Amino acid sequence: MGERGLKYDDQAISVDCVVFGFDGHALRVLLVRRERTLPERGVVADMKLPGSLIADTEDLESAASRVMGELTGITDIYLRQMEVFSDPARVQGDELQWINDFYGVNLRRVLTVVFHAVVKLDARLIEYTAAKGAQWVELDSVRGLALDHNRIVVSAIGFLISRLRHEPLAFALLPRKFTIRQLQDLYQAVLGIEIDNRNFRKKILSQPYIIPLGEKQTGVWHKPAQYYRFDARIFEREHKSKFKLDFLR
Partner DNA sequence: GGCGCGTAGTGTCGGGCGTACGCTAAAAAA
Partner DNA sequence: TTTTTTAGCGTACGCCCGACACTACGCGCC
Q: Which does 3 bind (CB under 5 to 8 A by kind): a second copy, DNA, none?
A: a second copy
Q: Output the smallest distance, CB 188 to DNA, in A.
A: 12
Return the range that interacts with a second copy (CB under 8 A); candidates 85-93, 123-131, 141-149, 224-232: 85-93
Residue partners of 47: CB distance under 8 A and separation at least 6: 31, 32, 33, 34, 135, 137, 144, 145, 146
Q: Which does 219 bind (CB under 5 to 8 A by kind): DNA, a second copy, none?
A: DNA
Q: Which does 103 bind (CB under 5 to 8 A by kind): DNA, a second copy, none?
A: a second copy
Q: Which does 86 bind (CB under 5 to 8 A by kind): DNA, a second copy, none?
A: a second copy
Q: Output the smallest distance, CB 27 to DNA, in A.
A: 20
Which helix (H) or strand (E) covers residue 3, if one does?
A: none
Q: Within 10 A of 46 (CB to CB), how many other CB atoms are there?
A: 14
Half-sphere exposure for 232 (CA within 13 Å, toward CB): 7
Angle, CA 71 vertex, CA 68 and CA 75 arms, to 5°: 45
Pick the binder of DNA from 41, 124, 223, 240 (CB under 7 A). Answer: 223
Residue partners of 87: CB distance under 8 A and separation at least 6: 148
Q: Which of residues 172-211 bind DNA (CB under 7 A)?
A: 179-181, 196-199, 201-203, 205-206
Q: Considering Cα of 90, then 94, then 99, then 105, what sign does the dihedral take?
A: positive
Q: Which does 224 bind (CB under 5 to 8 A by kind): DNA, a second copy, none?
A: DNA
Per CB under 8 A, 190 contacts a second copy: no
Secondary structure E strands in 99-248: 109-119, 134-138, 210-216, 226-230
- Chain-centre distance for alpha carbon 142: 14
Q: Output the smallest distance, CB 170 to DNA, in A.
A: 16
Q: Which residues bind DNA (CB under 7 A)?
A: 179-181, 196-199, 201-203, 205-206, 216, 218-226, 243, 248-249
